[in-house]
């Protein structure tokens, strides 16, 4: 159809464990004319996806290379250890890394925690993925330390998890290309930062806002001011 124009979708990447449902819902309420397309991506591949313009923005795990990407930290996750339900750690609400010293602690290749020193005893081989590591925990091969959202994502009825008080934590951020801060990106930044519709600072809203017309002067008030400016006549 000649002259027709289709509004481009806003492509939002997200890494495993991150749940963008709340922000997607708010987007749909505020910008129903702009479809939001979710793009799943691995934690390791998120930065390259943004650089290659495979998504307009992404919910990624920190750290983010700030050389060419912008990032707004959103929250930090609790770290947990995933264990079989009959494991000794289940007796406590919280454990320490020292409690895992005699355990085989699995370290998958897609691990998102920034370890200075790995806890416990290493396995013979590193599992390829967190899902593979979860399967090994269920098989009794070892235990797994991960962000809580990943433990929930890979939930199994025969496994559970407990908080690890002194383990490194994983932060989640909104990231996008430094040179691609579009109006739609700015709109999504406003949503994740909790701005209301009335407080939106999007450039599109600012550019499209007409200047307020000047209030008309009242003829009566003008005449009154002229009368006040005249000298009084002596009788």
CA 167, CA 107: separation in Å to the nearest integer?
A: 14
One fold for 10-76+171-203 and 79-164 = yes
Mean predicted lDDT score pLDDT of the chain: 87
CA 142, CA 4: separation in Å to the nearest integer?
A: 59
- Please give the pLDDT value at position 8: 86
CA 138, CA 142: separation in Å to the nearest integer?
A: 8
Cβ atoms 19, 149 nearer than 8 A: yes
- Domain 79-164 class, CATH top level: alpha beta
| Residue-range domain boundaries for the chain | 10-76+171-203, 79-164
List, for residues 112-139, the tens digit of each pLDDT value.
999 999 999 999 999 999 999 999 999 9
Q: pTM for this one? A: 0.80
Q: Under CATH, domain 10-76+171-203 is a member of which superfamily?
A: Periplasmic binding protein-like II (3.40.190.10)
CA 116, CA 166: separation in Å to the nearest integer?
A: 12
More confident residue, 217 or 151: 151
Tell me: cis bond preceding 31? Omega within 30 of 0 counts.
no
Q: Sorting pLDDT into bands at 50, 70 and 90, what band is 204?
A: low
CA 60, CA 233: separation in Å to the nearest integer?
A: 81
- Please give the pLDDT value at position 103: 97
What is the sign of the dihedral through the CA atoms of 165, 74, 130 and 91? Answer: positive
């Amino acid at each position: 159809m000649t002259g027709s124009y289709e509004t481009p979708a806003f492509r939002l990447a997200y890494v495993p464990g991150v749940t963008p449902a709340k922000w997607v819902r708010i987007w749909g309420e505020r910008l129903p004319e702009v479809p939001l397309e979710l793009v799943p991506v691995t934690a390791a591949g998120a930065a390259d996806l943004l650089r290659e313009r495979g998504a307009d923005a992404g919910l990624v795990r920190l750290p983010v290379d700030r050389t060419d990407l912008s990032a707004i930290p959103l929250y930090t996750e609790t770290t947990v250890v995933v264990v079989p339900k009959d494991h000794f750690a289940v007796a406590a609400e919280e454990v320490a890394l020292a409690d895992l010293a005699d355990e085989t602690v699995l370290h998958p290749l897609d691990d998102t925690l920034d370890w200075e020193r790995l806890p416990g005893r290493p396995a013979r081989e590193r599992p390829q993925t967190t899902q593979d590591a979860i399967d090994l925990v269920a098989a009794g091969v070892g235990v797994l330390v991960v962000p809580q959202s990943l433990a929930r994502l890979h939930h199994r009825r025969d496994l559970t998890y407990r908080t690890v008080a002194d383990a490194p934590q994983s932060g989640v951020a909104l990231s996008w290309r430094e040179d691609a801060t579009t109006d739609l990106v700015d709109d999504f930044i406003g949503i994740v930062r909790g701005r209301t519709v009335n407080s939106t600072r999007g450039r599109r809203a600012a550019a499209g806002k007409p200047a307020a017309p000047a209030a008309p002067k009242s003829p009566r008030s003008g005449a009154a001011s002229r009368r006040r400016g005249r000298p009084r006549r002596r009788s």
